[in-house]
Amino acid sequence: MSQSLSLSVPSSLADSSQAIAPQRIIRAEHSLSHLESLIQPYGQRPLVVGGEQSLAILRPYLSSIATLEVADATYGRDCSEASLQTLGQNVTDHHADVILGVGGGKALDAAKLLAHHHHCPVITIPTSAATCAAWTALSNLYSDAGAFQYDVGLPRCPDLLILDYAVIQTAPQRTLVAGIGDALAKWYEASVSSGHSQETLTIAAVQQARVLRDILFQKSTAAIAQPGSDEWRQVVDATVLMAGVVGGLGGAQCRTVAAHAVHNGLTHLSPTRSSLHGEKVAYGILVQLRLEELLQHHHLATTARHQLLQFYGEIGLPTTLTDLGMEDVSLRQLQTAAQVTCQPDSDLHHLPFTVTPDQLMAAMVSTASSSPALMDSEAILGSASEEVSP
């Protein structure tokens, strides 16, 4: 078992503790060919956690392992309390001493939380560039139906992150586009929640978020057009690694705001099951900017939103509810999502102004509006039937 697991933070210092980065990062094409030697320092009885497709990707590498006792288990459809309970039994039955998470954000979140509960090292192996979950000391919990419930801050980042570019390149292009959307939110949320901070690491995190945004603006189109190119690798690094750096440096002070809060609310509507995390977050950025226009009449927010609308169109990110597959959603359903988003403990309230569910709905149905915020939210909602079904 990894020596680092014997280190614990005294309760009196818990609020001062900050998990910044994985203990070790391997990033190279075909790095999984060395999987056996990479696992050995952490344990002899690995349990591999992932979805069916991700486990199928990893099994050829696992089949050549001769010195370790390997078992695998699927997390199911979501990282939920029920799935974690089942996985916990798998850990016990296998006497696992290291957890490998393989796949997308939900698989990696499940593996990280499982390892935390069972005091095991954890190795993360992303199979796409859709999120920075392979890096972070955070897991999101969902219901069995896929609705966001809460997140869990973990005391440490993964022990090892293995980024195999050859594996990432086999993922659908849509996953990289979604990862770009998720990573972009780092700037639009951190600049609002922490842009005025005087804390050194928070300042560094916000500035890194700005650099991350600029890299994505400059390189994403070429990366998507040429998978495997230098630009593609740089964008993969940006979405999987650099986005994680922002959260690590900023910690709790560099919070998610409306973009992720909108994502969380939308997960409570079944039509959004077909959209990816980063797609909903990307749409949520537009909602956040629209709120700034509607409620604070920020001209810079108008400029930023129109810049994003053009960029989204170039790379294929959603700009409206229809783009998210919600063309048939009713106003009642949308109100449910808005109410969830506006709950008292929501990250939405890290905005520097108050937002009501009706105001949020107005922003949600006008993300692609060409109009600056000249009409009030009631007027926009009055014409909402043009965007969603009555």
Same domain? For 130 and 258 the reply is: no
Which helix (H) or strand (E) is 385 found in, with range? none
Same domain? For 190 and 290 the reply is: yes
Query: Of 153, 171, 189, which marks where a domain is finished?
Result: 171
Query: Of 115, 147, 171, which marks where a domain is finished?
Result: 171
Let me know: does 283 contact 262? Beta carbons within 8 Å. yes
Cα separation of 89 and 113, whole Å?
Answer: 14
Side chain identity, residue 47 = L
The answer as to whether 188 is a domain residue is yes
For residue 378, the tally of other CB atoms under 10 A from its CB is 10
Same domain? For 183 and 105 the reply is: no
For the stretch 380-384, contacts whose Cβ atoms lie closer than 8 Å and that sit 24 or more positions apart, written own/partner, are 380/294, 384/331
pLDDT at 251: 86
Same domain? For 355 and 327 the reply is: yes
The answer as to whether 57 is a domain residue is yes
Query: Of 137, 171, 205, which marks where a domain is finished?
Result: 171
240 token code pair: 């999987």
Let me know: does 58 contact 102? Beta carbons within 8 Å. yes
pLDDT at 271: 65
- Residue 155 makes CB contacts below 8 A (sequence gap 6+) with 9, 17, 19, 116, 137
- DSSP letter at 104 equals S
pLDDT at 342: 98
Supply the CATH number for residue 208's domain. Answer: 1.20.1090.10
The answer as to whether 280 is a domain residue is yes
Same domain? For 167 and 183 the reply is: no
Residue holding tokens 């490998």?
100
Same domain? For 155 and 275 the reply is: no
| Phi/psi-derived region of residue 271, left when phi > 0, alpha when psi is between -120 and 50, beta in every other case | alpha
Q: Is 358 exposed, middle or buried (0-12, 13-18, 19+ CB in 10 A)?
A: middle
Residue holding tokens 């014409």?
383
The answer as to whether 148 is a domain residue is yes
pLDDT at 13: 53
pLDDT at 193: 94
Same domain? For 253 and 356 the reply is: yes
Cα separation of 280 and 61, whole Å?
Answer: 33
Cα separation of 289 and 360, whole Å?
Answer: 11
Same domain? For 245 and 261 the reply is: yes
297 token code pair: 């009449």
Same domain? For 101 and 218 the reply is: no
Average pLDDT per run of 10 along the chain, which is 390 residues long? 41 69 97 97 98 96 95 93 96 98 97 97 98 97 94 96 98 98 98 94 96 98 98 98 96 89 94 87 98 94 97 98 91 94 96 96 94 56 50
- Residue 381 makes CB contacts below 8 A (sequence gap 6+) with 358, 361, 362, 365
Same domain? For 365 and 250 the reply is: yes
61 is in which domain, residue-wise? 20-171
Q: How many domains does the chain have?
A: 2
pLDDT at 7: 42
pTM greater than the 0.75 cutoff: yes
Phi, psi of 42 (to 5 degrees): -105, -20
pLDDT at 140: 95
pLDDT at 3: 31
Cα separation of 311 and 378, whole Å?
Answer: 29
Same domain? For 86 and 216 the reply is: no
3-state secondary structure of 49: strand
